[in-house]
Structures are given as structure tokens and as C-alpha cells.
Amino acid sequence: MSSSSTITPAIVQLQFISQYISMTLGFILLISGTIGNSINTIVFFKLGNWKHNACSLYIFVKSLFDLFLLIIGVTNQITRLGFNIDLTAQSRVWCKLAISLINITFLNSLTCMCLQSIDAYFCSSRSPTWRQKSNVRMARYYIVGFLFLWICHVMPYGILYNLLTKGSTSICTTINPNFVRYNTYFVNLCLYAVIPIIIVTVFSFLTYRNLRTLTTQDRHSLSTLTRQMISLALLQVITLLVFQVPYAIVQIYSLVTMNLAKSTYRQAQEEVVNYFFHGYVYGTFACSFYCYCIVSKRFRKEVFDVLRRLSSIRRRTQVIPIIQTIELRHQRTIQL
């Protein structure tokens, strides 16, 4: 009896910790990620490098997907885990749409990251033939092709996911056992973690090896923009190792221990860990801008220049109406 009465408050405390972690981590990622990806999008759009450089195009498109993913995915996670308000359970249409949009943006962002790593490998090659494989025209085809692929991939979500009522609450889920297994083993583990980690790690290693074999003359033959894009692409492997690997480990642990008999207290402990890493994995999509600023001096200068230009344009648009108002008042005074 005493053991049960001791465990119950501990479980309640763990649930409170889960909610606190979900809200705190969620708000940090949502605010910092929204600001960072917005600046990323503005800077790369204003510079226009994405029009003639494949790596820049991948980063530009990835920033857009990251922005939408954080707004939809993290916001839903904050309200669901932090405030016990599941937005996807408010409407059958939003249940189907939200789960589809989260999957599309998640997979397209990781795809752009993988394509960026592959493109950096092509750019760093000594062979002109391999370097020619890095071009914007093909990059556009890849982006559109994978977007179409992932849209087709999420169509079953819109069909199989629905609102199910349990007691007085509704949840957005699916009861199809085959699709649950597919989503658990293939999507969450392979597509979200293992495959991107392998691709980015392998091609980052190959890119690093290419750079080591380049002569001084070969390195000077690379444009400043290309060298910058290669550096930013190599940074992705660190981002994945920091954010995606722990998520993959938690997913593997959950699958391995799925059929084990667990006490209520252990389930509560694992719930805290799961809540944390399900939010933590969004760091992959929130930290790009800040990592770019740390690694690339040129990128910091570009950000400063673009923001300064935007600030000067805004001041100019504010000053012109004031001048026009003063001139109009002056004319009226003269007429009087």
C-alpha cells in the first residue's frame, strides 16, 4: 500500500516534467527556428545564388520546408503535450491534413539535406565530369520529383488517419495494424533517421576526402560561393549526429522493448524521454541559420548586408510619406 502511494505522486511528478519539457523545448525551437529560417529564406532569396547554384537552391528550399514544419509540427506538439490540447483532434479535416503536411515537410527537408550533401561531393571532385553533375536544372528536377514522391507517400495518411473517440476525448490516429507497423518500422526509424544519417555521413566523408586530395591550384579553381556551400553542407553531418542519432536510438529502444512487461513507473520514465526526444529532433530543422553564422564568416556578412538593406528600404518608405505630407501642408498654407 505504501509502495503504491509513493509511486503515484512520483508518476504525477514525471508527467509534470514531461509537460514542462515539451513546452520549454517547444517554445525555444519554435521561436528560434522561425526567426532563423525566416532570415535564411530572405537572405538566400535576396542574394539570388539559388538561381545558379544547386547547393544554394537546396538550402533555400529546405529553409522553407523547415519553417512550415516548425510552425505546424512544433505548435501542435506544444499544445498537445504541454497544454493537453490536441489540435488535430478538433477537426477530421485538420487531422488528415496536419499529419500529411508534417510528413511532407519533414521528409522534403531531410531530402534537401541529403541532396545538398551529394551536391557538395560533386562540387569537391577533381573530375570535371563529376563537377558538371552539380547544376541547378537537375536540382530543380530532383526537388520537384521528390516533392511529388512524398506527396504520393502521404496519401494513405489522409485516408487511414481519422478521429477516434476514447471516452470523452478524441484522438487523431489509425487503427490499421499493417500501416501502424509500416509507420513505426519504416517511416519513423528508416526515413526519419537511419537513411538520412547514412547518406549525409557517407557523402560528407567522401567530400572531406575529396578536399584533402585537392591541390592548392584545384582549391583556388573553386569559386568562393562553392567553397562556402561545401562548408555549409559538411556542417549538416554534425547537425544530424547531434539531433537525429539520439532520436534514432530512442526509436530503436522503443521497438526492442515494445513487448516487455513494464511497471507503471517505468512507463512514465520512458514517456519523459520520448517526449523530450520527439521535440529534440526538431532541432535539426531549427538550428541551420545559427550553425551557418558560426561556421561561415561570409554568410554572417551577407546576413548583415541584406538586413541592413531591408532596414534602409523600410526607413526610406517611412520618410517619403512624411515628406509628402509636409509638402502638401506647405502647399495648402501657400494657397491660404
Give per-residue pLDDT as tens, 292-315: 998 888 889 989 998 888 877 666
Q: Indicate whether 335 belongs to any domain.
A: no
Q: Indicate whether 333 belongs to any domain.
A: no
Judge residue 69's burial from the number of C-beta atoms within 10 Å of its C-beta, 0-12 exposed, 13-18 middle, 19 or more buried.
buried
Residues 251 and 301 in one domain: no
C-alpha 67/C-alpha 178 separation (Å) is 32
Per-residue model confidence as pLDDT tens digits over 277-292 = 888 999 999 999 999 9
Residues 234 and 319 in one domain: no
Q: Indicate whether 336 belongs to any domain.
A: no
Q: Indicate whether 334 belongs to any domain.
A: no
Number of domains, the chain: 2
Residues 97 and 150 in one domain: yes
Q: Indicate whether 301 belongs to any domain.
A: yes
Q: Indicate whether 323 belongs to any domain.
A: yes
Residue 175: which CATH number? 1.20.1070.10
Residues 289 and 308 in one domain: no
* Identity at 163, one-letter amino acid code: L
Position 134 scores a pLDDT of 87
Q: Indicate whether 274 belongs to any domain.
A: yes
Per-residue model confidence as pLDDT tens digits over 198-211 = 999 999 999 989 88
Strand, coil or helix: 324: helix
Position 275 scores a pLDDT of 83
C-alpha 54/C-alpha 56 separation (Å) is 5
Residues 178 and 307 in one domain: no
Residues 261 and 154 in one domain: yes
Residues 169 and 23 in one domain: yes
Position 2 scores a pLDDT of 46
Judge residue 242's burial from the number of C-beta atoms within 10 Å of its C-beta, 0-12 exposed, 13-18 middle, 19 or more buried.
middle
Segment 184-192 shows an average pLDDT of 92
Residues 194 and 150 in one domain: yes
Residues 245 and 319 in one domain: no
Residues 175 and 311 in one domain: no
* Structural domain boundaries, residue 198: 2-295
Judge residue 284's burial from the number of C-beta atoms within 10 Å of its C-beta, 0-12 exposed, 13-18 middle, 19 or more buried.
buried
Look up residue 50 and give its DSSP letter.
G
* Average pLDDT of the chain, as a whole number: 86
Residues 172 and 314 in one domain: no
Residues 303 and 288 in one domain: no
